[in-house]
């Protein structure tokens, strides 16, 4: 039984803490169904439903939903990419999408056109068909809220829970991809940045998708698990992948690639790049000895992959400045701390 004191605890902005999700969400899944193959759990990017018999083509439905809440600019671009990325971590390309678009009371027809056309272009480029949804003006909103649900039909898949002891943890691109784009282009946060840094941050929007790299990596047959680095950044995703797989990890800060633009931006606003939202960065559990195969496959689609750690028994350990600390949970994302500071200073 949850005490009254716990029920009154104030929650922070962003994703709910793991202990709150365990208490109030993961068991609250409605009617039981034998067709549900992958149920909600910490660190998992999507659900899986069995569609047909063992010999049916496309016998699994991969489903994932994600909201866009903290941005106004390029909200349509974000919305399509975030749920598409989650489905892609299964190793399969998303094929279909639905959306819920909630707009502020003062939104115009032009706002609707801009958002819908941006979603159309982004989905078309990824080969995703938008099959429906709902759009309305809602009271009390200061910026659009867009929720997308992506779907794929698949014959096989991996989840974030598939890591095996001895696997190499690999990471694509660099840390803080999404946060670099957000902070570097948002007038509330980029006042201390030079013009060249702002222009560099704008190019990070083009790095958001992991669809190509996830699907081609899966085809190598060497990948046991994948996870998208969203809220909580790289450190949050490392913790969640370890927790989902029931394993420990050993990772050192020096092995995690961080770009020059991200370092400059994070230093200017005083945030930790490894705790910064990073859609576009993919974590992979790769069979030991097959890292080069996966690295070459990812390079063939214009991205890169770097070994950053190892799956082990025990706890998730992160070494920084020569000291190893246990990651007992995902950190609160730095982007939410910036939002709170911005609200306080107004």
The backbone torsions φ and ψ at residue 315, rounded to the nearest 5 degrees and listed phi first, read: -105, 165
- The residues facing 149 across adjacent strands are 65, 98
Has residue 346 got a pLDDT over 90? no
Tokens of 190: 């980029």
Identify the DSSP state of 14: S
Confidence (pLDDT) at 119 = 97
How do the domains of the chain map onto residue ranges?
Answer: 10-154, 160-345
Q: How confident is the model at residue 125, as a pLDDT?
A: 97
Residue 71: is its pLDDT beyond 80?
no
Phi-psi region of 277 (alpha: psi -120 to 50; beta: other; left: phi over 0): beta
Can you read off the two tokens belonging to residue 114? 């801009």
CATH of domain 160-345: 3.90.650.10
List all residues 6 or more positions away from 57 whose beta carbon is below 8 Å from its beta carbon. 155
Q: What percent of the chain has pLDDT over 70?
A: 94
Residue 2 is predicted with a pLDDT of 52
Do the strands 316-320 and 248-252 form a parallel or antiparallel pair, or are they unpaired?
parallel
Question: 343 falls in which pLDDT band (50, 70, 90)?
Answer: low
User: Which CATH number applies to 10-154: 3.40.1190.10, 1.10.1060.10, 3.30.1330.10, 3.30.365.10?
Assistant: 3.30.1330.10
Retrieve residue 42's tokens. Answer: 């910490």
pTM: 0.92
Are the C-beta atoms of residues 333 and 232 closer than 8 Å to each other? yes
pLDDT single digits (tens) 109-152? 999 999 999 999 999 999 999 999 999 999 999 889 999 999 99
- Quote the pLDDT of residue 15: 82
Q: Evaluate if residue 344 carries a pLDDT over 70.
A: no
């Amino acid at each position: 039984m949850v005490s009254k004191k716990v029920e009154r605890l104030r929650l922070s902005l962003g994703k709910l803490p793991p202990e709150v999700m365990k208490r109030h969400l993961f068991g609250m899944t409605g009617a039981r169904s034998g067709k549900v193959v992958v149920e909600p759990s910490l660190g998992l990017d999507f659900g899986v439903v069995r569609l047909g018999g063992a010999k049916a083509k496309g016998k699994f439905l991969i489903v994932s939903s994600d909201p866009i809440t903290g941005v106004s600019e390029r909200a349509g671009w974000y919305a399509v990419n975030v749920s598409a990325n989650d489905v892609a971590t299964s190793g399969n390309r998303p094929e279909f999408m639905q959306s819920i678009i909630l707009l502020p009371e003062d939104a115009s027809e032009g706002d609707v056109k801009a958002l819908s056309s941006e979603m159309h272009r982004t989905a078309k480029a990824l080969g995703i068909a938008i099959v429906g949804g709902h759009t309305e003006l809602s009271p009390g909103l200061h910026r659009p809220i867009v929720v997308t649900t992506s779907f794929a039909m698949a014959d096989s898949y991996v989840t974030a829970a598939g890591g095996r002891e001895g696997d190499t943890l690999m990471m694509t691109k660099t840390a803080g991809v999404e946060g670099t784009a957000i902070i570097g282009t948002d007038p509330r946060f980029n006042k201390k940045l030079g013009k060249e840094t702002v222009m560099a941050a704008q190019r990070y929007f083009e790095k958001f998708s992991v669809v190509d790299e996830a699907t081609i990596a899966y085809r190598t047959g060497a990948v046991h698990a994948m996870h998208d680095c969203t809220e909580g950044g790289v450190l949050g995703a490392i913790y969640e992948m370890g927790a989902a797989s029931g394993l420990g990890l050993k990772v050192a800060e020096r092995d995690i690639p961080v770009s020059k633009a991200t370092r400059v931006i994070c230093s200017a606003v005083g945030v930790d790049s490894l705790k910064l939202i990073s859609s576009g960065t993919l974590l992979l559990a790769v069979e030991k000895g097959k890292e080069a195969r996966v690295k070459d496959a990812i390079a063939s689609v214009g991205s890169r992959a770097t070994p950053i750690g190892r799956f082990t028994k025990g706890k998730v350990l992160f070494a920084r400045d020569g000291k190893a600390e246990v990651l007992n949970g995902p950190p609160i994302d730095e982007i939410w701390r910036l939002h709170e500071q911005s609200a306080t200073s107004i």
